[in-house]
Amino acid sequence: MKNFTLLFVLLFVANTAFSQETPRPNYRAAAKYSPKNLAKMVHSTSVSPHWLKKGNRFWYSYKTSEGSNYYLVDLDRKTKKTLFDNVKMAKWLTEITKDPYDAKHLPRFSFKFNKAENAIRFRVTSTEEVAVVDDKKEITKKDSSDKKSKKSKSKKPKMEKKVYHLEYRLGGNGLTIIDNKKKEKEPWKRWANVAPDSSIVLYSKNYNLYWMDKLNFKKFIKNEKDSTVVENQWTKDGEENYGYGGGSREDNVDKEKNKDKRKGVWGTWSHDSKKFVFQKSDSRHIKDLWVINSTKNGRPRLETYKYHMPGEQEYYKSELLIFDIPTKTHVKVPLDTIKQQSISVFRAPRKQSSRDDDFRPSLLLSKKGKVYFSVISRDRKKYDINVADINTGEYKTLIEERFNTYIESRPLVLFNNETEMLHWAERDGWAHFYLYDTDGNLKNQVTEGDYHVANFEGLDEKTRTLYFTANGVNKEQDPYYAHSYKINLNGTGLKTLNPGDFTTSTSMSDSNKYFVSNYSRVNTVPKSEVRDANGRKVMDLETADLSQLFASGYQFPETFKVKADDGITDIYGVMYKPFDMDSTKVYPLLEYVYPGPQTEAVNKAFSYRMDRLDRMAQVGFVVITLGNRGGHPDRSKWYHNYGYGNLRDYGLADKKYVAQQLANKHKFIDIEKVGIYGHSGGGFMSTAAMLVYPDFFKAAVSSAGNHDNTVYNSWWSETHHGVKEEIDEKGKISYKYKIDVNQSLAKNLKGHLMLIHGDMDNNVNPAGTIRMANELIKAHKRFKYMIMPGQRHGFGSMTEYSFWLRADHFSKYLLGAEATDVDILYMNMDKPMNR
């Protein structure tokens, strides 16, 4: 009996040890799905239409493993044709440029249709080198005896690759050479604000407003050194941080070098080009923030910029000015600049057919001498839509929104000869459209119900039909799946236009008769089609070519639906597993997080940009990404604002409870080895998770995290966490702000934490991560800390390096295998070594 008991115990221990075996890190599998390798396997996954101005037509390009093809779609005729024959195009280009091409390997085209829309024009650069011709260079006659002239003539000319500017007439049998001029650089586009009728150009110089007339601007473009060009100064009261334009972030050296250069002055034009509306901001009293560029040659450079932090009593002071072009005068909209508030001018929507236009001026919403604008209080609880007279600046408030959390907004829609408008609001707990007259009187609520209206897509004024996108209309689907709908303005006739258990992205024609619909899920092949305004499918366009991706061993991830920590709220997520998963092993669980609250880190459509998810799983982990209460606006206002007032901890309980539910369901998940990682807000959240639940989360990699939101920008923090406006007995207003920060819990750390930050991050200043590190050191904690030299918020060229840092960290602490080689082998394999 004793021997039998001993045998049973040994078998139990052996079986337990076997069942708890974890995989070895598989760096080779992860390297297979690097961004460079994926670009070779997956090409186009959606149709991006370039709508034309004549008829319901568009062109698009689509790339597969057979190369790129270009198509012209005429929806009135229900036809889809290749824009040209690739074989013939390769032949013509080869004959003209003397460089070899074939049908699969054409140059990357940038097309422009002519005005008649019956021909396309494009440029191709050949390998042939020719002497540079400078059309702008002033030619002067010199005496033949001039030694300098003789010397310059004998100088070897500067060479450049020959450019062919070509035209192809649709249906034609060849290419026409227009000229051999390369596309001219247009540096003036960085600063010149050209009126819609091109009569005048506005810009900023030395913080003041300047202008040039059409004649002088043309002379400037022809020769920017022309001394006869007349520049006119309009204002004289501009100064640094309270001027008329400019304001780009520059380091101390570049700022001094560029101080007298022309800079952009951005605003909104009236449709007749006679008025220009400009928002002037006073930030002189806003304190400075800094980053240092240590990687440039020479002395390290200081970059100074204005940065308002939450809870600071100062605030940007905004003014709304209306400039009259003919008289060169201006009026000020009489807003109370003492109030701490933000202003936004409503603009006319751009037509889909203007996408490829070289000139797209920003126009006022109204064509009838009115300026529609919104004002929102600093605490974002009071939102007003106003209209001002364009000549006097006098204004009145049309619509008021009030809420106890923050108010969000969408562009105002003006229609019916400017007698009616559509206003988007969340006043009943869901996002919907409301119909008003332009005196501010509510006519009716257009959309209604427990679903979220996302965006305006179009409006047929004749039939009074609204087209829009929304989430959560179909209760049988994932509420994040977006679809297109139409509804009558009286609130009747709601209809789904692109049904299906997918999420979609759409592009509607200017006529509102047709729209392109791209659709997929994370676990389906993306497809594209065209539907008409009644939802009838007109034609299929494309199905993404994933053949090479599947040949590599790729497998779709799995979606899941579980409960939040309250046991009631539905949480939706996606699970990514190793493609070579071994059923005899258990896998550590990683959570990739981004808390929002403006979005969630959960893909809904198929994406091959899998650096943070699929690829991480191939190292040897089960990776999940999921929503949390308070994490996304595309559900109810309650769901979105759940974290208001608790911006550090609000999502953590859901992250923990979801992991536990999945582990109960899937025996291949090792719930004793849970890691978490994220960037920016995800860096903040992943560190918070390690400190709030230190016995649950065992390892984290937190990159570019805003660990201390008292030194992050006020807009994000004061909006989503909240700032309290207080008024004393004398009427003086002050702002109170208090938020929990990660470093206050440094003493709680038990697991293995890695902090990463770019030292040039001027979005989330490195100070937040440095403060986190400081408190960890004071608490005598071991952790890893990496600075990315010269990198901004997104890590840029060091993104791939940061992936392998993350892989190393989790491999060591969750898989028990440490990479110790100096070289990151799989980064070296991606590029040839110098000999």
| pLDDT higher than 70, residue 22 | yes
Q: How far is CA 800 from CA 287, 565, 634, 755, 828, in A?
A: 35, 35, 31, 16, 11
pLDDT digits (tens, 9 = 90+) for 610-664: 778 999 999 999 999 999 999 988 999 999 999 999 989 999 999 999 999 999 9
* Amino acid in position 805: L
Distance CA 25, CA 27 (A): 6
Give residue for tokens 């000020």: 332
Q: How far is CA 552 from CA 27, 55, 78, 497, 575, in A?
A: 15, 43, 37, 36, 20
Q: How confident is the model at residue 20, as a pLDDT?
A: 67
pLDDT digits (tens, 9 = 90+) for 467-503: 999 999 999 999 999 999 999 999 999 999 999 999 9
Among 255-259, 400-404, 796-800, where is mean pLDDT lowest? Answer: 255-259
Q: Which two tokens stand for residue 146?
A: 């001039």
Cβ atoms within 10 Å of 256's Cβ, excluding its own: 10
Nearest one of 527, 628, 621, 519 to 575, comparing CA atoms: 621
Distance CA 807, CA 107 (A): 37
Higher pLDDT, 338 or 604: 604
- 681: phi then psi, degrees, rounded to nearest 5: -60, -30
pLDDT digits (tens, 9 = 90+) for 232-270: 999 999 999 999 988 778 888 888 889 889 999 999 999
**Residue 761 buriedness (CB in 10 A; 0-12 / 13-18 / 19+):** buried
pLDDT digits (tens, 9 = 90+) for 707-722: 999 999 999 999 999 9
Among 103-112, 148-157, 790-799, where is mean pLDDT lowest? Answer: 148-157
Q: How confident is the model at residue 155, as a pLDDT?
A: 76
- Domains in the chain, please, with CATH? 192-264 (no CATH), 271-283+315-344+375-406 (no CATH), 410-543 (2.120.10.30), 555-828 (3.40.50.1820)
Distance CA 315, CA 40 (A): 49
- 109: phi then psi, degrees, rounded to nearest 5: -90, 145
Please compute the mean of the pLDDT values over residues 433-453 and round it to a whole number: 98
Nearest one of 450, 490, 498 to 466, comparing CA atoms: 490
Please compute the mean of the pLDDT values over residues 412-425 and round it to a whole number: 98
Distance CA 769, CA 594 (A): 17
* Helix, strand or coil, per DSSP, at residue 700: strand
Q: How confident is the model at residue 140, as a pLDDT?
A: 43
Asked if 31 contacts 21 with a C-beta cutoff of 8 angstroms, the reply is: no
Q: How confident is the model at residue 250, as a pLDDT?
A: 83
- 11: phi then psi, degrees, rounded to nearest 5: -65, -40
Please compute the mean of the pLDDT values over residues 158-166 and round it to a whole number: 94
- 424: phi then psi, degrees, rounded to nearest 5: -100, 130
**Beta strand 537-543 pairing with 558-563:** unpaired
- 199: phi then psi, degrees, rounded to nearest 5: -75, -20
* Helix, strand or coil, per DSSP, at residue 38: helix
pLDDT digits (tens, 9 = 90+) for 583-606: 999 999 999 999 889 888 899 999
Q: Which two tokens stand for residue 698?
A: 């065992």
Cβ atoms within 10 Å of 348's Cβ, excluding its own: 17
Asked if 626 contacts 655 with a C-beta cutoff of 8 angstroms, the reply is: yes
Task: Tell me the percentage of the chain whose pLDDT exceeds 70.
Answer: 95
Among 26-40, 46-60, 753-767, 818-832, where is mean pLDDT lowest? Answer: 818-832
Mean pLDDT rounded to a whole number for the chain:
93
Q: Which two tokens stand for residue 768?
A: 């937040």
Q: How confident is the model at residue 632, as a pLDDT?
A: 87
Q: Which two tokens stand for residue 733?
A: 């207003």
| pLDDT higher than 70, residue 18 | no
Q: How confident is the model at residue 6, as a pLDDT?
A: 46
Q: How confident is the model at residue 146, as a pLDDT?
A: 52
Distance CA 453, CA 469 (A): 6
| pLDDT higher than 60, residue 8 | no
Q: Which two tokens stand for residue 376?
A: 């929102």
pLDDT digits (tens, 9 = 90+) for 544-591: 999 999 999 999 999 999 999 999 999 999 999 999 999 999 999 999
Distance CA 531, CA 528 (A): 10
Q: How confident is the model at residue 7, as a pLDDT?
A: 40
Give bridge partners of residue 321 from the DSSP assignment: 278, 332
Distance CA 697, CA 688 (A): 10
Asked if 546 contacts 531 with a C-beta cutoff of 8 angstroms, the reply is: no
Biggest CA-to-CA distance, the chain: 120
Q: 0.75 exceeded by the pTM?
A: yes
* Amino acid in position 345: V
Q: How confident is the model at residue 143, as a pLDDT?
A: 47
Element (H, E) at 289: strand 288-293
User: For the chain, what is the radius of gyration of the CA atoms?
Assistant: 30
